Amino acid sequence: MEPDDVVIAGLPSTGLIIRAGGKTLGRLRGFIVDGAHAHIRFLVVRASGLFSKARLVPFADPRVDFEQRAIDVDVDPHVVWQLRNLTPERLLTA
């Protein structure tokens, strides 16, 4: 699901920053939704940089910071590191 398709408290989610453990992970590029339960399971996040790729971050206990235009997820930095190679393409082929 694209960020343009999701509105949070009246604001579009396009361009939101994703943070975990106080660290900025990148910008929101999309959502992976569990169709059976209609729940967001992962955020598609792209870090800045020329060679960065989109990766998945678990959507755990999200808090929206409207002032900073950010979503903070409750994911341990170690888990984020372990999932660093989990991309939308890998999830779809699993």
Which tens digits make up the pLDDT trace of 20-54? 988 999 999 999 988 888 888 999 999 877 778 88
pTM recorded for the entire structure: 0.85
Q: What's the rounded Cα separation, in Å, for the pair 9 and 58?
A: 21
pLDDT value at 15 more than 90: no
Domain ranges of the chain: 3-75+85-93
Q: What's the rounded Cα separation, in Å, for the pair 39 and 57?
A: 14
Evaluate whether the domain defined by 3-75+85-93 bears CATH number 2.30.30.240: yes
Q: For all residues of the chain together, what is the average pLDDT?
A: 88
pLDDT at 94: 66
Helices in the chain by DSSP H: which ranges?
77-82, 88-93
